[in-house]
Chain A
Amino acid sequence: MSVLIFIDQSEGHIKKPSLEAICYGAKLAEKLGVNAEGLVLGSVTEDLADLGKYGVKKIYTISSPALEHMDAQVFTNAIAQAVQSSGAKVIIFANNVDGKAIAPRLSAKLKAGLVSGAIAIPDTSSGFVVKKNVFSGKAFANISLKTDIKIISLNPNSFPVVAGEGKAELIPLNISLEPGKVKVVAVNKVKGEIPLSEADKVVSGGRGLKGPENWGLVEDLAKALGAATACSRPVADSHWRPHHEHVGQTGLAIAPNLYIAIGISGAIQHLAGVNRSKVIVVINKDPEAPFFKAADYGIVGDAFEVVPKITEEVKKLKGTT
């Protein structure tokens, strides 16, 4: 019996939400008195043994031409076989794009209960109960899992990454896999930007910025902070900003440590995508803007005057610390 963590990679690099998943899985394994083990599919350029410092003792690896691109069907088959050979009873995913594609399939295949979007270590005081986000971040539900095998997919930015000591033993698994039916014909990545879903800080702009020509304001602050950029829905709908920056109920839901909202009114549908952020800063010229009710810090003022000054102060801070 063990806790098995699916370690997600992209182009040979381990993704940050997977490090969170490893630390979460290791903590859960400790609580259950079992080992935490990892699983990596496809070829990775990084030193996998080094992931031992996050608490995994063993890492199973499977390489096969069929695993070159993430195909939910093929990955599910591979993971199901690894679950069988490792005897894992709890399987952890990051609830990122790959986790959302694979974990539900695996749940149906193994008839293993799934909690997607978990935000805390399971409560095992009576049964096995996992807390997850529901109602787009406006509430939590405690979900009971009674199946023999259990699957949890962990929301990004819900569990801290802490490195200790240790090396993981690498165990290649030899399994045969049928190639997938999905053919990848192109990959279009936005180069040089921090992916919004993984960002630890986000600077976001709304209709208050008046037009795309003013986005330098948002970008300069984001750059000074090392933050990703986001926007409200009307901004994306008006093509001021690309669609993938749209956050909210119908866009991306994010939970960074810091969310700075500039010229965004704070409509309930916008809040639904950002209210899990740890610290929210609102800059709006209207003191009655609803966003202030959801904020930790606020400045009532004109973004065009205030934001460049904040950017200067951030640069000063970075220069001296």
Chain B
Amino acid sequence: MKILVCISKSPDTTAKIAFTDNNTKFATDGVQWIINPYDEWYALVRAIELKEKDASIAIHLVTVGSADAEPIIRKALALGGDEAIRVNVESHDSFYIASQIAAVAAAGSYDLIFTGKETIDYNGSSIGGMLAELLNMPYISLATKFDLNGTTATVSREIEGGEEVCEIALPVVVSCQKGVAEARIPNMRGIMAARTKPLKVVEPTAVEPLTSIVSFELPPAKAGVKLIPADNPAELVRLLHEEAKVI
């Protein structure tokens, strides 16, 4: 059994969001990079948990990104991947990235492909679905539980106001979110071992992106909070009704 986990690099959740080059580029100065939380906490950790139950499982990691994604993929290896593949290219749009991952996936014939629910910078929530289509595989999005029984997976996915439990024969692409796995902290031994795990660098396949970013904007600053004395809740309700018109 081979699992492919898609790992992306994202700015730390507390990073200051600012733009340069006439608002066309994210200002990366001083930004700490982390593994996109959904990819680490849910997709990767679930793959590791599955391997703990069945040692014959191999976990491969893939990232599409230039050399500066290397510390991120090494950290993911330290957490528990067996080997990693980096497609050596600055990432473009979702379709471009999905096409690169699809090429890696097709070459490796994986039984299971995990992505995170979304990247916390682009927030596309798109790559899993695109990848499934490119590979002609079924897709289960926003999974909250994932279990394997031989070559059948039982997956719970989010629906409006609840959950749906599905059964699906492998192979399948699954996007993972909260609930799928338990949290864990990488240990030193893992970090040492990661240095010797294989990290293969492959060149991108030729694909035309379908979209491009024209510019970024920051939201207008809030006018500032209007404070209401604690002993006058009626005033708050009046303001919400008459001024803000939300109740």
Contacts and interface: CB of A to CB of B under 8 A. Distances in A.
Interface of A: 10, 15, 69, 71-73, 76, 95-97, 100-109, 111-117, 129, 131-136, 138-147, 180-190, 193, 195, 197-198, 201, 225, 243-244, 246, 249-251, 253, 257-258, 268-269, 272, 275, 278-279, 281-282, 292-302, 305-306, 309-310, 312-314, 316-317, 321
Contact of A139 (B139, B219, B237): B219
A141 B233 contact: no
Interface string B211-247: 1111111110011011111100110110111001011
A72 B126 contact: no
A145 B165 contact: no
Interface centre among A182, A201, A321 (most CB of B within 10 A): A182
Contact of B160 (A73, A96, A144): A96
20 contacts: A72-B132, A73-B132, A103-B129, A104-B98, A104-B133, A105-B133, A107-B126, A136-B120, A138-B218, A142-B217, A144-B212, A146-B212, A147-B210, A182-B167, A272-B13, A278-B246, A293-B225, A297-B227, A317-B237, A321-B241
Given A195-B161, A297-B244, A114 B210 contact: yes
Contacts, number: 272
A134 B123 contact: yes
Contact of A108 (B130, B158, B216): B130
Contacts of B216: 134, 139-142
Contacts of A95: 125
A296 B222 contact: yes
B79 to A, nearest CB: 17
B159 interface: yes
B128 interface: yes
B169 interface: yes
Interface centre among A97, A253, A292 (most CB of B within 10 A): A97
Contacts of B142: 97, 100-101
A182 B211 contact: no
A299 B133 contact: no
B144 interface: yes
B14 interface: yes
Given A73-B132, A188-B165, A114 B123 contact: no
Interface in B96-153: 98, 120-134, 138-142, 144
Contact of A97 (B126, B127, B159, B227): B159
B240 A250 contact: no
Contact of A107 (B95, B128, B246): B95
B25 to A, nearest CB: 11
B67 interface: no
B17 interface: yes
B7 to A, nearest CB: 16
Contact of A185 (B41, B128, B167, B218): B167
Given A10-B159, A135-B121, A193-B161, A296 B225 contact: yes
B168 interface: yes
